[in-house]
């Protein structure tokens, strides 16, 4: 299968070059691979950085929505599989191949990968043990609302995107809207979770930076009222917590630490929501 990798960017001069080098390191050999970068109104040096790479197709999109930029990339692409990531991420060498293999092995239309920190720590590793267990639960649910997209790590067959898309031109959450639409109107089996397809988030390098990112995500999602998966109930969180403990064979001390980490993550998420109520982010005109 030929694949098209699409990366929208805006003012990403501090991370874009790392992202591009990682994309060029792909070990995909089962078809042709093209990389499309879409300038979504950058005012820094990131377009100049992208221009240095002759193998990249550089496009521009003036519409405010980052999903408009993704749609622009899709329109100019040719691959049978569309892969999406973001400029503050570096993909692992097997990333594209893992997504394509997951789509072929499951006959799914969508593959959602895993986002890992660029630098791990003991506490962050424990926190992500739970996150991974929760993701597996979400993507094995029978209720379409539990499914979500992940713009940093997402693949979809072109034929399905053209029949069910494009992305809605909103500021946030259009990937989840598309995933849920396909799961609702067709089948949840159209969506698969591929934890082996990994991208590393350059801005997450320890537990403090992870909590900061969670606050920002919660704040923006609440401000913009963007789509995501259905909330996980308290009982389900309880079961996922103990499943994490059993799966990774945590002792008493690590179990207590995991509980405290999850409480911290919940508090930070709620703080982002409260901040959005008090001082919502300014919504650009679409």
Query: Residue 227's pLDDT is what?
Result: 63
Q: Which of 110, 90, 102, 88 is nearest to 195 (CA)?
A: 102
Torsion of CA 54, 57, 62, 63, to 10 degrees: -150
Domain count, the chain: 1
Reading the block at residue 47, the tokens are: 């377009």
Q: Which of 178, 188, 192 is nearest to 227 (CA)?
A: 178
Digits of tens for pLDDT over the chain (286 positions)?
A: 899 999 999 999 999 999 999 999 999 998 999 999 999 999 999 999 999 998 999 999 998 889 999 999 999 999 999 999 999 999 999 999 999 999 999 999 999 999 999 999 999 999 999 999 999 999 999 899 999 999 999 999 999 999 998 999 888 889 999 999 999 999 999 999 999 999 999 999 999 999 999 999 999 888 877 767 778 889 999 999 999 999 999 999 999 999 999 999 999 999 999 999 988 876 544 3
Q: Is residue 285 part of a domain?
A: no
- Domain membership of residue 28 as a residue range: 3-278
Q: Is residue 88 part of a domain?
A: yes
Are the C-beta atoms of residues 130 and 258 closer than 8 Å to each other? yes
Query: Residue 284's pLDDT is what?
Result: 45
Q: Which of 151, 141, 226, 259 is nearest to 191 (CA)?
A: 141
Q: Is residue 190 part of a domain?
A: yes
Q: What is the three-state SS of 224-256? A: HCCCCCCCCCHHHHHHHHHHHHHHCCCCHHHHH
Residue-wise pLDDT for 238-276, tens only, equals 999 999 999 999 999 999 999 999 999 999 999 999 999
Helix (H) or strand (E) holding 273: helix 252-278
Q: Is residue 26 part of a domain?
A: yes
Q: Is residue 283 part of a domain?
A: no
Q: Is residue 80 part of a domain?
A: yes
Query: Residue 224's pLDDT is what?
Result: 77
CATH of the domain at 7: 3.90.550.10
Q: Is residue 23 part of a domain?
A: yes
């Amino acid at each position: 299968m030929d694949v098209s990798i699409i990366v929208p960017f805006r003012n990403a001069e501090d991370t874009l070059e790392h992202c591009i080098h990682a994309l060029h390191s792909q070990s995909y050999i089962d078809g042709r691979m093209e990389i499309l970068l879409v300038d979504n109104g950058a005012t820094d040096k990131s377009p100049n950085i992208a221009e240095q790479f002759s193998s990249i197709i550089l496009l521009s999109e003036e519409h405010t929505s980052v999903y408009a930029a993704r749609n622009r990339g899709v329109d100019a692409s040719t691959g049978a599989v569309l892969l999406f990531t973001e400029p503050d991420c570096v993909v692992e060498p097997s990333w594209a191949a893992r997504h394509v293999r997951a789509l072929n092995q499951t006959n799914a239309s969508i593959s959602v990968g895993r986002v890992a920190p660029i630098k791990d720590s003991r506490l962050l590793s424990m926190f992500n043990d739970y996150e991974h267990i929760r993701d597996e639960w979400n993507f094995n649910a029978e209720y379409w609302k539990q499914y979500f997209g992940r713009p940093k790590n997402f693949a979809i067959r072109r034929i399905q995107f053209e029949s069910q898309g494009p992305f809605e031109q909103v500021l946030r959450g259009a990937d989840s809207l598309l995933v849920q639409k396909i799961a609702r109107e067709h089948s949840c089996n159209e969506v698969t979770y591929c934890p082996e397809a990994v991208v590393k988030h350059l801005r997450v390098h320890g537990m403090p930076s992870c909590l900061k990112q969670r606050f920002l995500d919660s704040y923006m999602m609440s401000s913009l009222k963007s789509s995501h998966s259905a909330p996980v109930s308290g009982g389900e969180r309880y079961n996922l917590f103990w499943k994490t403990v059993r799966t990774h064979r945590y002792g008493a001390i690590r179990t207590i630490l995991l509980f405290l980490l999850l409480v911290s993550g919940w508090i930070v998420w709620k703080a982002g929501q409260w901040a959005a109520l008090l001082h919502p982010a300014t919504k650009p005109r679409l």
